[in-house]
Chain A
Amino acid sequence: MSEPILRVEDLRVYFYTYAGVVKAVEGVSFEVYSGEVFGLIGETGCGKTVTSRALTRLIPDPGRIEGGRVLFRINSEWVDLLKLPDSELRKIRGSLISYIFQDPSSALDPLYTAGYQVAETIIAHNRVSWKEAWLKAIDALRSVLIPDPEARVKNYPHELSGGMKQRVVIGTSIVNEPKLLIADEPTTNVDVTIQAQIIDLLHQLKNLRRTSIMLITHNMGLIAEMADRVAVMYAGRIAEIANVYTLFEEPLHPYTQGLIRCVPDPTKEIKELYPIPGTVPDLINPPKGCRFWPRCSKAMDICKREVPPRVEVSKGHFVECWLYAGGGHE
């Protein structure tokens, strides 16, 4: 049975801007297990990207991590990444926990060859010579299915296609055998046929190396394809966590239900899509109580006053919604 490798407890991240304090992440808690793909979905401004960056304290000014714990399991011990000294954290970032971002073009330095960039990551975290690092880099490129890696290591990013660049980025991220790979919209800027190749690649990585993947996206199809468990975020909070089949077949939170119904499923004959009325709230002055209540068809009085607690409706299926927390009436 899988055991958890990451535990996020009550994470809070605020941005102190001229317009006011943006409460981007407001009490987010979840777990990620070893060898699973954990999906984090939500629309613009829901805080999923900020959450993922906060895990290794990659929050730039004017953002600040204002609370919570990020517990990461290293060698059977739990370490709070938020309390680790910078030097220790830097050792983990890029090796035990690594990232893949949305735009491979910006992740790669145009002035250095692909091989150099992978080798550099190896050297940063291991005591090896450049020669050994170079060989490992070729291996890393081979493991991400780049054909003819001995030649590709000498290529500059502009000489590589979009799909290749993304593979190099993935190669850079996995070369130090991370326990947790955080992929932020890894296939958004990439063509569908290349996306399929990358999904296939990530599947193989997960199966071969038992790497946990945290998949952040707004693409419901990608989640359906890849995720084992999913957390749905809305306006800085988690609305629901469930296993992927349950999420699509029996969503409980009204926002999740809305999300599922507004995405067209091409295998079905659909006459009409069901949009969610209203817009995403302003996070400087978010609604009191449940942040979704202004758009919720099932909103009750208590929703407007108090933040709903998290309830485990069935094993592993969590919802933060008054409909399942007794509605405040009982």
Chain B
Amino acid sequence: MSKPLISVRNLKKYFPVRRFLFAKDYVKAVDGVSFDIYEGEMFGVVGESGCGKTTLGRTILLLIPPTAGEIYYRGENILEYDKEKLKEFRRRAQIVFQDPYSSLDPRQTIFDIIIEGPRYHGIDVGDPEEFVVSLLRKVGLEEYHLYRYPHEFSGGQKQRIAIARALAMNPEFIVFDEPTSALDVSVQASILNMIKQLQKEFNLTGMFISHDLAVVKFMSQRIGVMYVGRIVEIGDSDELFKEQLHPYTRALFSAIPIPNPRVTRSKKKMIVKGEPPSPIHLPRGCRFYPRCPYAMPICRTKEPDLMEIDKNRHVACWLYR
């Protein structure tokens, strides 16, 4: 079993919201999240909109400063890093964003966009043009794309450029934040294949964030399910799809329409009533309590922590204490 490359313990990110004068309420976007990501694996994070998965991705890379908690990289708490070590961490941990249209600077050529990072970090890449061209080829683009501008490319090609930019830093860890959600299915397929292959080739560890369960299953070895700022279940992709323990995970998985009419129409759908709670005024106890078909009195009183049930299965639910 490999060691965790990244370990997150009780991570919190709260965004202040003004009530009056200087009084504040807080949007608890990430409210106490803990998990490990092992070297060489792709860890998937799924959840619905507002569950905090995007905030989680950015906080882990310190693109947003965390409110509380610890983030360990190779056993060291990165929140205690000095400037030098932080810069090194930032080189080794990259992100690919969802929106290809806004994440590339429209005023820079592809060459500039990709070489910018290595230049800033003073990485020796040999001949810069050759370096960028070889990266472009790796992501399925051509040499003649080198001096074009972002607007000349399609959405799928822009994402390839974004991935090349991340790879230029020779990273160890990449966070993919809904990288294909804005793309057509046929384009999505080739980008996903490419990410998988690059992951193997460069021995990358990754975190794949998406609301699309089928895509996450295809890309990840282990999956964490998020609900309103907390992780409610973690398990192996295949195992998780075979059996879900947490009632929310069950509802989520049963709700996804499978692209296969015979299977999806015979599938029993667990229709969950109601809506997720507001992340500002969270109810006491388990946040899924108001919608949970298995609710018990204790669920209303105390919030369950993530518990290890089996090897490779963690659930945050009083049904499994």
Contacts and interface: CB of A to CB of B under 8 A. Distances in A.
A–B interface present (Cβ within 8 A): yes
Interface of A: 43-44, 161, 163-164, 191-197, 199-200, 218-226, 244-245, 248, 258-260, 262-267, 269-270, 272-277, 279-280
Contacts of A191: 48-49, 211, 276
Given A43-B184, A262-B185, A275 B193 contact: yes
A274 B189 contact: yes
B125 interface: no
A224 B258 CA distance: 7
A267 B260 contact: yes
Contacts of B187: 275, 279
B271 A221 contact: no
A263 B156 CA distance: 16
Contacts of A221: 214, 256-259, 264
Contact of B218 (A224, A226, A273): A273
A248 B252 CA distance: 24
A171 to B, nearest CB: 17
Interface string B273-297: 0011000000000000000000000
Contacts of A272: 193, 196
Nearest to B157: A279
A193 B255 contact: yes
Given A221-B264, A224-B264, A245-B262, A270 B218 contact: yes
B275 A163 contact: yes
Contact of B257 (A193, A219, A279): A219
A264 B251 contact: no
B184 A44 contact: yes
B260 A262 contact: no
B300 to A, nearest CB: 20
B296 to A, nearest CB: 21
Contact of B256 (A192, A200, A248, A276): A192
14 contacts: A163-B275, A195-B255, A196-B271, A220-B259, A224-B259, A244-B261, A245-B262, A259-B186, A265-B260, A267-B258, A275-B186, A275-B189, A277-B190, A280-B184
Contacts of A197: 271
Nearest to B197: A272
A266, A273, A280: which has the most chain B beta carbons within 10 Å? A266
Interface string B177-215: 000000011111110110010000000000000010111
Contact of A264 (B217, B262, B276): B217
B241 A264 contact: no
Contact of A269 (B184, B238, B262): B238
B232 to A, nearest CB: 13
Contacts of A222: 257
Given A192-B255, A200-B271, A248-B260, A263 B217 contact: no
A225 to B, nearest CB: 4
B258 A245 contact: no
Contact of B265 (A225, A259, A262): A225
A265 B261 CA distance: 11
A223 B190 CA distance: 22
A6 B188 CA distance: 34
Contacts of B196: 272
Interface in B210-266: 211, 213-215, 217-218, 238, 241, 251-252, 254-265
A161 B277 CA distance: 10
A276 B190 CA distance: 8
A238 to B, nearest CB: 18
B259 A265 contact: yes
Nearest to B253: A266
A132 to B, nearest CB: 31
A276 B188 CA distance: 10
Contacts of A275: 186-190, 193
Nearest to A273: B189
A194 B275 contact: yes
Contacts of A163: 275
B238, B241, B255, B276: which has the most chain A beta carbons within 10 Å? B255
A322 B166 CA distance: 44
B86 interface: no
Given A43-B186, A269-B238, A264 B214 contact: yes
Contact of B269 (A44, A161, A200): A200
Given A260-B259, A276-B186, 9 more contacts: A200-B271, A220-B259, A222-B257, A224-B261, A263-B259, A266-B213, A266-B258, A275-B186, A279-B154
